[in-house]
Structure 1
């Protein structure tokens, strides 16, 4: 009996056309952060001290700001540590790696069925005007007299609730276990502090700001969730200041269930 076909690959972040951060370099940086010593980190990974330093210097030379720095003095006589920028880059890489592995898993699940693989690739290529597009699996359907409340589990594990008509639910074939796309326009996303978010909003997706683009009156804010998904919101520049949002700030995206559009690929 032949083995099932499996999609495989490795993720690399690049700067220009040069490899910047991959799994091996990420592991080295994590060990440096854990052990506070280049020598200990290299020894833990079974590599030579010079090779470890060469890798770190290559990363620092390509990075916008140093990821690793020497710490001098102190009772322990100094050592090596990650900068805050370094920790942020590791978090970004691990989130991207998680999303990439989920993608490979999805492709592998259909690799031996060309028709289903083609349908899956079609779903991945879906383009709409909504800035927020996530694929998820239906975990619950609560039908009312006119509308249905549909709960999805997104790829990163976050729950998302949508309210659609019973007719739409039937026409789209939405049942527990079905794969659907959830679409939300960026102006329909409200941002709030994670320490005191409103309790009445059905969907509260919390993470950290990883991108802000400002215009004359509005600002587009990108929020990265713990599971790797991103949420895009468009808010007033005045509101941006009132919330005190900058890159790295924790925040929650609030989305009314009625603003979530569901779509399927057939």
Structure 2
């Protein structure tokens, strides 16, 4: 499951999102037996970790049981609910990995400029920044590939302004197809290329956005998640 972006796997409940950072916090509590030690191990403040656990518990139920100090000492341990949530997160991450490996969007383009390992590539809908081998010269024709789990889909009125996100590749498009799975769905977005741009979303996100064919969306993906090779 290496290579799956941290932001790709999310479990939502009552407007609160459980993601990779939260899974890491719970696993650290389980390993070290205390929220304080878990926060220290992860380089986070105890106050922030405590607030985050409270916020998660308001949405997902009891996750961490605190033990008072005494003969056996104090500490914290995970509840059965926390272990179930972590197991669900791992299943979802595995499903993302399996689908992402088989879902790759590929576009043709030409390198119009470069800055070290990153290059500007002109593709049909516009320009993208991509990782390009250093021996590929400006003017070369390349194939640009993007994994579906690296693509973010947002409704136009919810999309952040370009300067507020690190995803520098961004296009307007329309939903061409929605394929639902048990936990993960694939969305094909028409961005003006011969083949659509595919994205992975949890079924919770699909339900929240109520995406259907023809709906306007904004798609974005980071330069570091975009690869280009010479044709």
What is the TM-score of this pair, normalised by structure 1? 0.44
- 2:69 aligns with none
- Contact 1:130-1:183 within 8 A present in 2 as well: no
Aligned equivalents of 2:199, 2:113: Cα separation in 1: 27
> 1:227 deviation in Å?
4.9
Distance 1:151 1:135, change over 3 A: same
Q: Flag the structure with more relative contact order, 1 or 2, with Cα contacts below 8 A and sequence separation at least 6.
A: 2
Asked whether 1:226 is paired with 2:195, we answer no
Mapped pair 1:203 → 2:169: yes
CA contact (8 A) 2:125 2:171 kept: no
Q: Is 2:182 the counterpart of 1:216?
A: yes
Is the 8 Å Cα contact of residues 204 and 252 (structure 1) preserved in structure 2? yes
Helix, strand or coil for the counterpart of 1:169?
coil
Q: Indicate the structure (1 or 2) with the bigger Cα radius of gyration.
A: 1
C-alpha change, 1:264 and 1:130, in structure 2 (3 Å) is: farther
1:229 to partner: Cα distance: 4.3
1:253 matched to 2:219: yes
Q: Do 2:140 and 2:230's aligned partners in 1 also have CA atoms closer than 8 Å? A: no
Q: Which residue of 2 aligns with 1:45?
A: none
Query: Which of 153, 158, 161 is matched with 2:129 structurally?
Result: 161
Aligned residues, how many?
127
In 2, distance between residues paired with 1:214 and 1:130? Answer: 14
1:189/1:204 Cα in 2 relative to 1: closer, same or farther (>3 Å)? same
Question: What TM-score, normalized by structure 2, do the two folds share?
Answer: 0.51
Among candidates 76, 86, 110, match of residue 137 of structure 1: 110
- Structure 1: segments with no counterpart, 5+ residues: 1-127
* Residue 180 (structure 1) aligned to one of 142, 145, 154: 142
